[in-house]
Amino acid sequence: MDATPKQACDLHVHTTASDGLLSPQEVLCYAASKGLKAVGIADHDTTAGLRALEGLSSPISSVEVVPAVELNSEWKGRELHILGYYIPISRGPLSDLLTRLQDSRRRRVAETVKKLKALGMPVEESRVFELASGESVGRPHVAKAMLERGYVTSIKDAFDRYLGMGRPAYVERFHLSPEECVRAVREAGGVPVWAHPGTARSFSIIKILVENGLQGIEAYHPEHDHSMVEKCLNLAKEYNLIPTGGSDFHGLGKGEGGDLGSVVVPYEVVERLREAAGK
Ligand code: AMP
Ligand code: FE
Ligand code: FE
Ligand code: ZN
């Protein structure tokens, strides 16, 4: 989507609250240096980054923060993620759900570490938690600990050989179904958006998601080639969904996502999301 530099918005960004490398404050400074108008802070299963920004006495930059969360789910043995825009960040049913998801993440790390030990690759559980400075620990932090010990050649290598779904150190954890994710965001007053649908490699679930309240589809994402973007834009028209986009920035040098501002949408998308949330 064409966005003039002055109104470019990157609506999918991670911070140290989950598996990003930059703190929320650093993300905002970086976004300002890139001339972005708005960034969507969308950490996995946590809004702690957004609360940290809200707690600041003065704004870091003029970049507008679009509050969001990314809920990880699974469908047919694949990762399926739902973004929730304009969700509440204060205490309530959604924050209770996020706390439960974070607990399941911590338990999963303990089990993964056990599996790695049995596979002859001991890593310190405490080191994994150290690498996760925020409240949402994940497999990328385990992968980093494995990389430090020289068991793998990269984070991607760790996922491909050990941590990815169906690999020997993969551990199931509690998560909602995709339609439950959509409903949870909607019930909290947020706007549910199907994140990077291209990575699910099938669109057959879209009707179910729409029936449960889906309001947007992430058309623009580093993992989407031109034909995938077109496909998403057509689905947006067919199902009356807001087409969104973002870089899925996790920090420079990390395997996942692109650089901040490498995938942007015009400010009009922010306005549509805000309107859908009734804000
Ligand atoms: P988790 O949140 O623990 O389920 O881990 C999923 C996260 O790991 C995703 O959000 C990505 O940031 C990252 N990830 C997933 N697959 C890969 C991969 N193949 N290479 C690098 N990072 C990945
Ligand atoms: Fe991630
Ligand atoms: Fe994702
Ligand atoms: Zn993401």
How buried is residue 2: exposed, middle or buried, by Cβ count under 10 Å (0-12/13-18/19+)?
A: exposed
Give backbone dihedrals phi and psi of 75, rounded to 5 degrees, phi first.
-150, 120
Q: Domain ends where: 119, 136, 163?
A: 163
Give backbone dihedrals phi and psi of 154, rounded to 5 degrees, phi first.
-165, 170
8 Å CB contact between 70 and 196:
no
Closest CA to 144 of 130, 46, 135: 130
Please name which ligand lies nearest the alpha carbon of 45: 1
Distance separating alpha carbons of residues 246 and 101, to the nearest angstrom: 24
How much is the pTM? 0.95
84, 192: one domain: yes
Ligand 1 contacts CB of residue 140 (under 6 A): yes
Mean pLDDT of 116-141: 96
194, 117: one domain: no
Residue 170, pLDDT score? 97
pLDDT value at 206 more than 90: yes
Record the tokens describing residue 2, joined without a space.
Answer: 């064409």
CATH of the domain at 138: 1.10.150
| Residue 2: pLDDT band with limits 50, 70, 90 | low
User: What is the domain count for the chain?
Assistant: 2
242, 186: one domain: yes
Domain of residue 126 covers 99-163
Residue 220, pLDDT score? 98
Ligand 1 contacts CB of residue 156 (under 6 A): yes
pLDDT value at 107 more than 60: yes
pLDDT value at 52 more than 70: yes
Residue 58, pLDDT score? 76
pLDDT value at 255 more than 80: no
Domain annotation covers residue 172: no
pLDDT value at 82 more than 60: yes
222, 156: one domain: no
pLDDT value at 169 more than 80: yes
Atom index in ligand 1 nearest the CA of residue 19 equals: 12
84, 11: one domain: yes
Mean pLDDT of 161-171: 96
